[in-house]
Amino acid sequence: MQITAKEIWTALGAIREKAPVVHNITNYVVMNSTANALLALGASPVMAHAEEEMEEMVGIASSLVINIGTLSPAWVRAMHRAAEAARKRRIPIVLDPVGAGATSYRTRTARELIAAVPPDIIRGNASEVMALLDSRAKTKGVDSSASSDAALEAGRSLHAQCGAAVCISGETDYTIGRGGVIRGRNGHVMMTRVTGLGCTASALCGAFAAVVAEPAVAAAAAMAALGIAGEIAVTRALGPGTLQVHLLDALYLLNPEDVEGYLKIETEG
């Protein structure tokens, strides 16, 4: 499985040209920031959660992103209903199992969503991915208590079980798909000081999946784009507050030279 700077730039160009509608069922904490990131990238975000409008909203979308950050029974029902509608329409589904491993409700909800309608991409941190396989794995709130390296085998097993491309974020981002493993090393440690950038990564996975046929390539491209934008933003930011502003600008202004110059990616298989 190969991915190049040219392929990432081609995908980004397709997003900017087509402005795919990305339907997000996401959490209260990140709605504004993820919507702005999608807009800056060139996609068209929709943040809709009412169970009663799921089929219609999915009907106009090019991809669906399900994020379990702020759960409630009504939202869980909406997630299932949206996933079923997305599968019928054959549009890609991204699942972010935020906080899986922190509580039994979160872990059970994520597992039930995967079992009912297997997503095309699962993107989470190491602890979340490990918790989807092992109930003993614990998450520190919604933050990872393990490195992405430690979750690689769990990611492989999860991919084998459900068929989804599994993207594990961390110092090294691992994306496991049918063609092997993609290792990405873009990003900056200051990004961990801004809430919701993991959720933003999942939202961008939805944008790339709308224009890239192979889920693992779409996920790896999204992680690279966000990581590169983060590296550019850090050179202009004074701290986490201004990083958020400069990150949106960097996503909006990403160009082929940025992608070629900053990209740090390796493929296996």
How many structural domains is the chain composed of?
1
Round the average pLDDT of the chain to a whole number and report it: 94
Q: Determine the Cα–Cα distance for residues 8 and 28; give it in Å rounded to an integer.
A: 30
Q: How confident is the model at residue 268 (pLDDT cuts 50, 70, 90)?
A: confident
Q: Which residues contact 158 (CB under 8 A, 6 or more apart)?
A: 122, 129, 132, 133, 164, 166, 176
pLDDT of residue 138: 55
| pLDDT reported for residue 137 | 54
Q: Which of 58-67, 79-88, 147-156, 250-259 has the lowest mean pLDDT?
A: 147-156
- Give the three-class secondary structure for 124: strand
134 — pLDDT class (breaks 50, 70, 90): confident
pLDDT band of residue 148 (cuts 50, 70, 90) is confident
Reported as a single tens digit per residue, the pLDDT across 151-175 is 999 999 999 999 999 999 999 999 9
CATH number of the domain where residue 234 is located: 3.40.1190.20
Burial class (CB in 10 A: 0-12, 13-18, 19+), 126: buried
Q: Which residue has the tokens 């993820």?
A: 34
- Largest separation between any pair of C-alpha atoms in the chain: 46
Average pLDDT, integer, range 134-144:
55
Buried b (16+ CB within 10 A) or exposed e, 58-76: beebbbbbbbbbebeeebb
Residue 143 has pLDDT above 60, yes or no: no
Residue-wise pLDDT for 122-132, tens only, equals 999 999 999 99
Provide the percentage of residues in the chain whose pLDDT is more than 90: 91
Q: What is the mean pLDDT of residues 84-113?
A: 96
Q: Give me the domain span that covers residue 118.
A: 5-268
- pLDDT tens, residue by residue, 170-229: 999 999 999 899 999 999 999 999 999 999 999 999 999 999 999 999 999 999 999 999
Count Cβ atoms below 10 Å from residue 32 Cβ, excluding itself: 11
In terms of DSSP H, where are the helices of the chain? 5-18, 31-41, 54-59, 73-89, 104-116, 126-131, 152-162, 197-209, 215-234, 240-253, 256-262
Query: Per residue in 22-81, pLDDT tens?
Result: 999 999 999 999 999 999 999 999 999 999 999 999 999 999 999 999 999 999 999 999
pLDDT(136) > 80: no
